[in-house]
């Protein structure tokens, strides 16, 4: 049996391809049923987001596991197999474990350190578990991967520093104001980045939103998304007095906010005024930054924060890789305990211990036997144990590589009482040759993905 992964992501496929290979929640049960109906696949989990589709499987010996998964994906979505392969990456063995752990740790995300992907993988696993598509291997692997994600979030600071423009704006706002609770934000213009920045500010505690736009209807539309208030463009500076934070992103070719106007606004207020200019060309006169109690940041300032924070996340990513290495070794040790050879050895060792104990008891009761007679009785007891175990252990070895071989091994361990707990959390062992013997990763040559913005806010898809 082997661990197998076939997938594509924002790194290998443009959005036009990614959108063709998706498995929404309402189709997962059907897709998993069709996939595991194959003799080649005994367990499966499908992770499907806007930035990646990955099919994880436990595949059987004697079958082309990756080929079976590719055939399934192409057939299920009526895609040309040869065209699809260009965008896929394939991993087998321990490379699958490492990839999954890196995914849930957000080391493989478009935005390093984002938190959404852990929840998305959990949801994918829950779909597979509910559909009966997972067994002992994936129940253990995916549950451990969630612990990896938690460890990385708690033991490193990989998610602590903003690495998108809109989150950087929030971070800077927190430096200007001790507390964003109860603050008011004004959006000037209706650009996507302004909207995202306002959304994140509201999420950080800002409670009032004002929207001004040359097209009043557009201002009304955007204000409704934040339960805010649309402001007629002519009332811009009058209402700006109420705002603590102003985000400007218009298509104007000249400064929309000038030093004179801002001086007028600040003169009639007590608190600082935070101006965020994310327009190109700029909306806000740089001279506004010279006014006392006015804090002005433009797109370059925000990018500088993002770059510095991304470097910090990269350093934290190195610590995350150490955690992943530790967790991989633990999973490999658990797999070793599930292998057929150590299982057979454990069965024989337990039977031998019981035989020896009973032989000693019998000898104490009998007494007076000669050395030759003692040897004869002991050899007889050994022969009985060996003959009793020979058939079951040989059959166990024979079926271990079949599609449901791990199930037979699990049943044997249960029947002989070899596991100390039902989850099989054995702390000892090495490398299971069946599932992890091939740790290579194959990546198809693919055209560069388009439309990806590493500083964007659609981080978890």
Residues marked as catalytic: 50
End-to-end CA distance of the chain: 31
- Write out the chain in H/E/C secondary structure: CEEEEEEEECCCCCHHHHCCCCCCHHHHHHHHHHHHCCCCEEEEEEEECCCEEEEEEEECCCCCHHHHHHHHHHHHCCCCHHHHHCCCEEEECHHHHHHHHHHHCCCCCCCCCCCHHHHHHHHHHHHHHHCCCCCHHHHHHHHHHHHHHHHHHHHCCCCCCCCCHHHHHHHHHHHHCCCCCCCEEEEECCCHHHHHHHHHHHHCCCCEEEEECCCHHHHHHHHHHCCCEEECHHHHHHHHCCCCEEEECCCCCCCCECHHHHHHHHHCCCCCEEEEECCCCCCECHHHHHCCCEEEEEHHHHHHHHHHHHHHHHHHHHHHHHHHHHHHHHHHHHHHHHCHHHHHHHHHHHHHHHHHHHHHHHHHHHCCCCHHHHHHHHHHHHHHHHHHHHHHHHHHHHHCCCCCHHHHHHHHHHHCCCCCCCCCCCCCCCCCHHHHCCCCEEECCCCCCCCCCCCCCCCCC
């Amino acid at each position: 049996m082997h661990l197998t992964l076939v997938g594509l992501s924002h790194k290998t496929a443009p959005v036009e391809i990614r959108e063709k290979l998706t498995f929404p929640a309402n189709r997962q049960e059907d897709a998993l049923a069709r996939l595991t109906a194959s003799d080649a696949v005994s367990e499966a989990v499908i992770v499907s987001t806007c930035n990646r589709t990955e099919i994880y499987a436990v595949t059987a010996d004697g079958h082309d596991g990756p080929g079976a998964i590719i055939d399934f994906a192409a057939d299920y979505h009526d895609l040309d197999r040869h065209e699809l392969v260009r965008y896929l990456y394939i991993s087998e063995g321990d490379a699958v474990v490492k990839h999954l752990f890196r995914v849930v740790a957000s080391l493989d995300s478009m935005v390093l350190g984002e938190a959404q992907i852990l929840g998305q993988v959990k949801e994918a696993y829950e779909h597979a578990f509910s559909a009966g598509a997972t067994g002992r291997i994936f129940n253990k692997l995916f549950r451990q991967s969630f612990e990896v994600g938690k460890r990385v979030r708690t033991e490193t600071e990989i998610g602590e520093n903003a690495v998108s423009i809109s989150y950087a704006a929030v971070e800077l706002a927190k430096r200007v104001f001790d507390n964003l609770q109860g603050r008011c934000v004004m959006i000037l213009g209706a650009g996507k980045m302004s909207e995202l920045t306002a959304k994140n500010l509201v999420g950080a505690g800002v409670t009032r939103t004002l929207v001004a736009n040359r097209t009043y209807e557009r201002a009304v539309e955007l204000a409704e998304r934040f339960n805010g208030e649309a402001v007629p463009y002519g009332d811009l500076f009058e209402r700006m007095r109420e705002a603590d934070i102003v985000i400007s992103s218009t298509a104007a070719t000249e400064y929309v906010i000038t030093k004179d106007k801002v001086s007028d606004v600040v003169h009639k207020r007590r608190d600082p005024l935070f101006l965020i200019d994310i327009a190109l060309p700029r909306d806000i006169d740089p001279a506004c930054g010279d006014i006392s109690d006015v804090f002005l940041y433009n797109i370059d300032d925000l990018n500088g924060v993002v770059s510095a924070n991304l470097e910090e996340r990269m350093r934290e990513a190195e610590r995350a890789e150490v955690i992943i290495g530790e967790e991989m070794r633990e999973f490999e040790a658990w797999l070793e305990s599930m292998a057929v050879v150590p299982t057979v050895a454990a069965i024989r060792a337990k039977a031998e211990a019981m035989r020896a104990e009973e032989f000693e008891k019998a000898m104490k009761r009998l007494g007076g036997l000669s050395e030759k007679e003692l040897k004869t009785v002991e050899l007889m007891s050994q022969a009985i144990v060996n003959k009793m175990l020979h058939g079951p252990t040989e059959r166990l070895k024979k079926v271990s590589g079949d599609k449901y071989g791990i199930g037979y091994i699990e049943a044997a361990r249960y029947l002989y009482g070899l596991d100390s707990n039902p989850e099989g959390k054995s702390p000892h062992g090495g490398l299971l040759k069946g599932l992890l013997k091939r740790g290579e990763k194959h990546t198809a040559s693919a055209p560069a993905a388009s439309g990806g913005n590493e500083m964007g806010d659609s981080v978890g898809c």
